[in-house]
Amino acid sequence: MPELPEVETVRNELAPHVIGRRITGLTFEWDGIVKKIPVEDFRDGVIGQEILALDRRGKYLLFRLSSGQYMIIHLKMTGSLLVQKTGDELPRFTRAVIHLDNATDIVFRDPRKFGVMRLVKDPASIVGKLGPEPLKDDFTIGVFRERLVNRKAPMKALLCDQNVIAGIGSMYADEVMFDTGIYPVRLPESLSDEEKDHLYEAIRRILWAAIENKGASINTYYRPDGSEGTAHFEFNVAHRGGQPCNVCGTPIERMVVRGRGTYYCPKCQLDKSR
């Protein structure tokens, strides 16, 4: 958390507030949020710059500045970007504040201090190794099948591997595999062409639906206006351990796959290795 739908929602809702605005100041409540360069160098490179565009790559937000550099923000597990008027009381866990020229602040709130801010000339230095964007037109079924060739990791881990496909995390990987009836530790070489096609379609459909629902507010994710998303109300397995499956009534179980908590229905997603 946040994953592609949450970060895309932030981009969509933050863009009207920041594009065309000039950054007039930066306040850091925790200097550790800036990586790779000294905080003062970051501040010098950002203050006074106009934000020309705001894009998303995987789970990263890319602010294109008038200097030609990019301010890149990764919300990580618990980060949020909140819009408020300059002078309003800052929320708890504020780590940084971006001050704009229209008396608006962008507040980076992050309870667990995992979030990151970077300033780079070339965004490829940060996002260049990411896999394809699953919602782009050039992400075809052929591209998806190619990404699975010679992969030895279980499907849950592959779907979460940002170098394989960008933006999918644990929640939506669980939902995709439930939708396709695939046991989380199945290997890609065991999948039929029909299962691969179903996976491809489910990835795109489930991610688009989550964006329409403004992301999932399972824990600490908030939209820029401070409201919550509703995508989690549509979840079948993710974060529903012990609850009955919406399809068959069997209690949802949890396992750990390559260090990630994984939710699945043991009846709808049969372990075909047994």
| Pair 90, 146 in one domain | no
What's the rounded Cα separation, in Å, for the pair 161 and 155? 10
| Pair 89, 170 in one domain | no
Q: Judge whether 224 counts as a catalytic residue.
A: no
Rounded alpha-carbon distances, angstroms, from residue 254 to 6, 174, 206, 244, 251: 23, 10, 21, 13, 10
Each residue's pLDDT tens digit, 112-162: 999 999 999 999 999 999 999 999 999 999 999 999 999 999 999 999 999
What total of structural domains would you count in the chain?
2
The catalytically annotated residue of 56, 57, 59, 223 is: 59
**HSE of 209, CA atoms in CB hemisphere, 13 A:** 14
Q: What is the CATH number of the domain that holds 182?
A: 1.10.8.50
Residue-level pLDDT at 273: 54
Q: Judge whether 260 counts as a catalytic residue.
A: yes
**Whole domain around residue 173: which residue ranges?**
141-264
68 located within any domain = yes
Each residue's pLDDT tens digit, 233-266: 999 999 999 999 999 999 999 999 999 999 999 9
> Which strands sit side by side in the sheet containing 104-109, from one edge to the other?
23-28, 94-100, 104-109, 80-85
Mean pLDDT of 226-238: 95
Q: Judge whether 59 counts as a catalytic residue.
A: yes
* Out of 70-79, 115-124, 214-223, least confident range: 214-223
Last residue of a domain, one of 69, 95, 127: 127
| Pair 118, 145 in one domain | no
pLDDT tops 80 at residue 219: no
Q: What is the CATH number of the domain that holds 48?
A: 3.20.190.10
Residue-level pLDDT at 271: 82
Question: Is the whole-model pTM more than 0.85?
Answer: yes
| Pair 159, 113 in one domain | no
| Pair 148, 117 in one domain | no
Residue-level pLDDT at 139: 97
pLDDT tops 90 at residue 1: no
**Mean of all residue pLDDT scores within the chain:** 96
Each residue's pLDDT tens digit, 254-263: 999 999 999 9
272 located within any domain = no
Q: Judge whether 3 counts as a catalytic residue.
A: yes
| Pair 255, 146 in one domain | yes
| Pair 179, 231 in one domain | yes
Residue-level pLDDT at 274: 47
The catalytically annotated residue of 3, 6, 8, 175 is: 3
Each residue's pLDDT tens digit, 32-70: 999 999 999 999 999 999 999 999 999 999 999 999 999
198 located within any domain = yes
| Pair 118, 11 in one domain | yes
The catalytically annotated residue of 76, 151, 260, 267 is: 260
The catalytically annotated residue of 2, 154, 188, 224 is: 2
Residue-level pLDDT at 220: 81
Computed over its alpha carbons, how large is the radius of gyration of the chain?
20
Amino acid in position 243: Q
Each residue's pLDDT tens digit, 168-209: 999 999 999 999 999 999 999 999 999 999 999 999 999 999
Token digits of residue 43:
């501040």
| Pair 9, 104 in one domain | yes
117 located within any domain = yes
| Pair 119, 181 in one domain | no
What's the rounded Cα separation, in Å, for the pair 18 and 10? 12
pLDDT tops 90 at residue 89: yes
| Pair 188, 148 in one domain | yes
